[in-house]
Chain A
Amino acid sequence: MSALEARGLACARGDVRLFRDVSFAALPGEWIALTGANGSGKTTLLRCVAGLVRPESGEVLWDGRPAHASGSTLHENAVFVGHAPGVKDDLTAAENLRDALALRGVACGEAAMDEALGQVGLSTRRRLAARRLSAGQRRRIGLARLWLDPAPVWLLDEPLAALDAEGERLFSGMLERHLARGGLAVVATHHALAPAPDREVRLGS
């Protein structure tokens, strides 16, 4: 069983202590909601789990082993989507999607990409430079990537930001499909999502 576990994580930004002693575990098929007021450290916690931020204390375990030590396979198995979706303005939606998948080492045919872009409602915009897309449509490029990437771990920071009601339903459907396939997810969000979270980690309380 590949589980993602955080044990006693603590983080500070400058002199401000964001959180301490945060622990949670996610098994395949479960998702964990990170909630808390603005500035309570949800983003930092997620970046900590992803391996971008080094925690002051505590550790992240993947498969029972330290997730960010050499030899860990978390990077091969996790997708992280942060505040900035990593979309290049000068490339088209299709090119952005292809680049993002190639970076993760996911082989993907044109037909599958077309289908994914259709799923997220970008099929008529696929040849448009991303600079001409709205913030929500850029988010949808990220959703198409989640649709195609088989990674079992999702680490998402406010995935619903800038998405409309239909986009929210789309995301809920994708999360459901991901969990049904045995994936797990840690999602920082303010929204109540359709599959209820298996656990909630509340920061700042």
Chain B
Amino acid sequence: MTGFRWAFARDLRLAWRHPGETFLVIVFFAIVASLFPLGVGAEPQVLARIGPGVIWVCALLAALLSLPSMLSSDYIDGSLEQMALSPHPMASWVTGKIAAHWSVTGLPLTLLSPLLGLEYGLEADTQAVLAAGLLLGTPVLSLLGAACSALTLGARGAGTLLALLALPLFVPVLIFGAGAAQAQASGLSPQAALSLLGAGLIFAGLAVPPAACAAIRIALD
């Protein structure tokens, strides 16, 4: 637990020192999501139909944008080996780093989503389901992203490789996240999709930290 707290507090502090990098992700999300209404045209029906999907894809891309620096900067400056050799279990500080990553990317994106929902003229209940989906789904993105980012440590062209690895894994999250909001918009129950997202979060929370640890050990060897 001390390992978790240490990594979480440190990564938040580092993100705070670099507000530009953190805001970049959020601004990217807002701008890309705002481009679609401009390109597609202002027909309310079309916008309301594509809204949830577009917002989810933008969240995916924004999460991807922040992934490469998650572990690689620590790998390059030697902090990662110091953490690996610390008395704390590796899974504790890896989870702390993932939680910090989510706090500076997934959480602000979730909080921002109702504002973008307005642009697409989404109903209030659809917006609520969209936000709930993002709240459950964005931690999964941070978790899966951490494992992929650990696998690409030390590789050349790691950023591109990371996108190729991570995006296919993000697909189920996209399907169920956008699916929940679309179900709500068309008068169906979003519960099934949200439950699957929740199940995905539990599964990723249990399975990803050991996988990321194994990948980090290989990278340091």
Q: Chain A residues in contact with chain B, CB under 8 A?
A: 50-54, 75-76, 78, 80, 82-91, 95, 99-100, 102-105
Contact = CB atoms under 8 A, between A and B. Distances in A.
Contacts of A86: 77-79, 81-82
B83 A103 contact: yes
Contact of B6 (A53, A87, A89, A103): A103
Contacts of B13: 91, 95
A104 B87 CA distance: 7
A80 B85 contact: yes
B2 A52 contact: no
7 contacts: A50-B85, A51-B85, A85-B78, A90-B18, A99-B10, A103-B6, A105-B2
Interface in B74-132: 76-79, 81-88
A53 B221 contact: yes
Contacts of A102: 6
Nearest to B93: A103
A103 B82 contact: yes
A105 B88 CA distance: 9
Contacts of A75: 85-87
Given A76-B87, A99-B10, A102-B6, A88 B79 contact: yes
The prevalent SS among residues of A at the interface is loop
Nearest to A51: B85
B contacts with A: majority SS: helix
Report the 9 A-B pairs with minimum CB-CB distance, sorted nearest first: A84-B78, A86-B78, A90-B17, A86-B82, A86-B79, A76-B87, A103-B86, A52-B220, A75-B87
Nearest to A73: B87
Interface residues of B, number: 21
A178 B180 CA distance: 62
Nearest to B10: A99
A84 B86 contact: no
A50 B83 CA distance: 12
Interface in B41-82: 76-79, 81-82
Given A53-B221, A91-B13, A91-B14, A104 B78 contact: no
Contacts of B2: 105
Nearest to B85: A80
B96 to A, nearest CB: 11
A167 B88 CA distance: 31
B85 A91 contact: no
A89 to B, nearest CB: 7
Most A CB atoms within 10 A — which of B2, B85, B87, B88? B85
B77 A52 contact: no
A108 B136 CA distance: 39
B81 A82 contact: yes
B77 A89 contact: yes
Contact of A52 (B14, B18, B221): B221
A91 B18 CA distance: 11
B14 A78 contact: no
Contacts of B81: 52, 80, 82, 84, 86
Contacts of B10: 99
B6 A52 contact: no
Interface string B1-23: 01000100010011001100000
Nearest to A104: B86
